[in-house]
Structure 1
């Protein structure tokens, strides 16, 4: 199977009003399951890494407009989700991914019902190598005021390029926020500041070995050593 090429960059946008998740097959190489206001941009480039030359396909997923998802008690009972789940398939290999830092935030006055939560996960060949529920920090001012942040640190993974059978990777970034029905005089809000995610993939059956610089140097020295001998032989003739 040959590498599938893009004729140009592909952008997929989901509006804030998008109610259902979108399952997207990116050139048969990986599956994106998206839910929430985000844009996915796909591009390709010829790269050289780990002494191999290959075509790398990169998917960049970013929140629409770069801003947070905001829920306000003035709008009544609401809920919002932001989820991104990626999996490589069909024999394609992961070359690397990067998950940026993110934050959830909730604010309530007079026990206003508001909640936020999320996870960042990574599975390699079915084994969990990362499961992050964030680090919460709560700032209570009184019995009537509560402010909580949940911070997620950035996370990245880079794989060694190889023509061998690829490992499977599953990446998940999932957040949720909800507001209940408040009593009169109660109020609050919830924020979701999603992470930007970059995911790269390639076809291991099409990688081409590239000699190391030392190999070129040795080849050059060998040719230089042969050059005087060839001149001498030519003179004798």
Structure 2
């Protein structure tokens, strides 16, 4: 009798999932999770176009190597891939993960930290560490647009980002709006050296690579 009830329950859940017309992910324990993007939305909620192999640090202190990784930037869900299966959500809470990334400077290891000290847990890309740890908060939203005199609503996934400084000891985050004035203010203790760096190097404060180089220089003083 219990087996029959279980079958009817699973069929009911399956029907509900299909009627909501949403994609879903499965945790390793098999519990279905509704995805963050419906089928009528243009764009992907994922951090990477393709899963990248990397290392995961769990909050319990354990680490897992050589895992195909990604991150849902709308639902803020760390994901891992498994051959022949849909993406899975981690059962154990994730603290951070790192992947290999290719840039103009070659292949580097990029670290992402999953912090839950916000109202909503978020993913941060670590750009530079040291006296001033520079991180880039990453998230995505679904934006609805209805053109003038049109009955059609277009839904698109938009990328959002903001820069933060993290105190190495307290781990407190402070938002930073990158500009020459604001950066010089937080690097006031090495003002002479930083001013000389800015004279010798063209720095675009809207570019991650330029900010990384500047903060790496400062953290090395």
Greater fraction of residues in strand:
1
TM (norm. structure 2) is 0.27
Structure number with higher relative contact order (C-alpha < 8 Å, ≥ 6 residues apart): 1
Bigger radius of gyration, 1 or 2?
Answer: 1
Greater fraction of residues in helix:
2
